[in-house]
Amino acid sequence: MIGGRRRHGFTLVEILVVLVIIALVGGLALVTLERDERRLAAREAKRFAGALEFAAARAQARNETLGVSADRTIRFWRREPSGEKWLPLDDDVLGARVLPEPLLATPLSYAGQRIASNTIVPLRASGRNEPFAFALASPAWLVVLAADPLNRVSIDGPVPNNR
């Protein structure tokens, strides 16, 4: 009791201590979730699959040839009308995206054939694309994204990466 009156509520210091504790616990939970490679691989695979489907639809809608390449960074490209050169896209949806550590993406196949890691996989304006596949991998997990001729992307994984 202060001055004969009963105290009600919490002091500012008590409230601040509780808020700091909540912030610390929330921060630790976020760091723990971000380091879960399996969830990270699954989330990035869904993001990549959505971008691939969007790019294929955009190629058809705008009557242009687009392409995609991947390593530590996923990049989308637009072929010049002359067909001689690829130009990187830099818009919001199809701009270059650096994958979070420890993920790497690599092209696996195009038209049923293995392809080099530096290949730009084309997405034709006609919408008639050859089937292709990309791998998204961490040291522990592997996800394979495969596009069919109708530009639907399926996701297989994450499965344990047994390199």
DSSP-derived secondary structure for the chain: -BTTB---S--HHHHHHHHHHHHHHHHHHHHHHHT-HHHHHHHHHHHHHHHHHHHHHHHHHTT--EEEEESSEEEEEEE-TTSS-EEE--STTTS-EEPPTT-EEEEEEETTEE--TTPPEEE-TTS-PPPEEEEEE-SSEEEEEEE-TT--EEEEEEEE---
Find the range with the poorest average confidence among 24-28, 52-56, 63-67, 121-125.
24-28
Residues 75-88 have pLDDT tens digits of 999 988 887 899 88
> Is 37-160 in CATH node 3.55.40.10?
yes
pTM of the model: 0.72
- At residue 95, the pLDDT reads 85
Mean pLDDT of 125-131: 84
Strand partners, 97: 74
Q: What is the pLDDT of residues 18-52, one digit of tens each?
A: 888 888 888 777 666 545 888 888 898 898 988 89
CA angle, 31 as apex, 28 and 33 as ends, to 5°?
A: 110
pLDDT band at 124 (very low <50, low <70, confident <90, very high): confident
pLDDT class for 159, splitting at 50, 70, 90? confident
Q: Which pLDDT band, with edges at 50, 70 and 90, does 4 fall under? A: low
Q: Which residue has the tokens 């990270």?
A: 40
pLDDT score of 149 more than 70? yes
C-alpha of 47 from chain center: 4
